[in-house]
Amino acid sequence: MRLFYWSNSKFANKIRGVEKPFALSGDGWDEWNKNAKSKYPIRYWFVEEFLDKLQNVVYWPIDTLYSVKYYLVNRFIDQSYALVAHKSNIKRGQWMDLPERILYCMFDELVDFVEIEKAYANFRWNDDKSKDKKWWQVGKWRLRTYRNKDAGIDYLNWEMSLTNEEWAEDGEEIKPTDQAICAKEIYDLYNWYVNIRPNRPDVYDVTGWSAYCDDKRDRGIGFMNTDPEENKDDTKKMLAEITKLELQYEEEDTEMLIRLIKIRQSLWT
């Protein structure tokens, strides 16, 4: 996909005799093409068909190089053909059962989506934000691993601020757009995975089990030996609390995974 097409240029508008809109709905484009073609059929053919084919010929060497670059980046860097966990969560070569792999792989991909794709979208169409970026960070030849957490969150904040105010009729309620609602859910899930989940209290610490085990270890009492000071009711209570808290964490993880699946069609830029 090219960033610029000759058929969309000012020169093309003059040759075609009909100015091409910047954006239309699907039905709008059908209507525009129909009208432009019927008004000046030969000029329409020259701009919309001949210019595109001529550009394909002229750009063939560049397009070929870009295709090679795109394959190599996608194969060895982006790896968009697979769900890949971050090394900080699953070290290369480490075994991890499928339930944990599902969670880490899916949410690490969400982190990449926010910190790479949303970050890129933050300055993609903004000259002021992109002017200080290098050639490998923007444009056709960028390496897509450019990561900027703040830029990704900044873009989500902008999306979350979108409302229907511009096209709302008189008396109509001003409310967030669908894009804003999806952005809010993406942000909430990202924030939970990056900031909330890693800081959940350790089940063994919060229940007192870690302190209990440290105390036995300090007193030289093995776990298979009887501790004369041990209150078995307290031990059972701690173990029950551990089981309960672990179950709560598992249910929370599952709930967040379900929420992520529900917005998967919105995860594109």
Q: 135-179, pLDDT tens digit by residue?
A: 556 666 666 667 889 999 999 999 999 999 888 888 889 999 999
Rounded CA separation 176/231 (Å): 57
Q: Judging by beta carbons within 10 Å of its beta carbon (0-12, 13-18, 19+), is residue 51 exposed, middle or buried?
A: buried
* Residue 142: per-residue pLDDT: 66
Greater pLDDT, 200 or 230:
200
> Degrees (nearest 5) of the Cα angle 228, 233, 235?
75
Rounded CA separation 4/70 (Å): 18
Rounded CA separation 189/185 (Å): 6
Q: 38-90, pLDDT tens digit by residue?
A: 999 999 999 999 999 999 999 999 899 888 988 888 888 778 889 999 999 99
- Which helix or strand (DSSP H or E) is residue 150 part of? helix 149-160
Q: Is there a contact between 155 and 122 (Cβ–Cβ < 8 Å)? A: yes
Rounded CA separation 145/225 (Å): 54
* Residue 166: per-residue pLDDT: 85
DSSP string, 61-81: HHHHHHHHHHHHHIIIII-TT
With cut-offs at 50, 70 and 90, classify the pLDDT of residue 125: low
Rounded CA separation 85/96 (Å): 11
* Residue 190: per-residue pLDDT: 98
Q: What is the percent of the chain where pLDDT is above 70?
A: 87
Rounded CA separation 186/118 (Å): 11
Nearest Cα residue to 117 out of 78, 66, 84: 78
With a CB cutoff of 8 Å and minimum separation 6, the contacts of 170 are none
Going 65 to 70 to 73 to 76, the CA torsion angle's sign is: negative
pLDDT score of 96 more than 90: yes
Rounded CA separation 170/193 (Å): 41
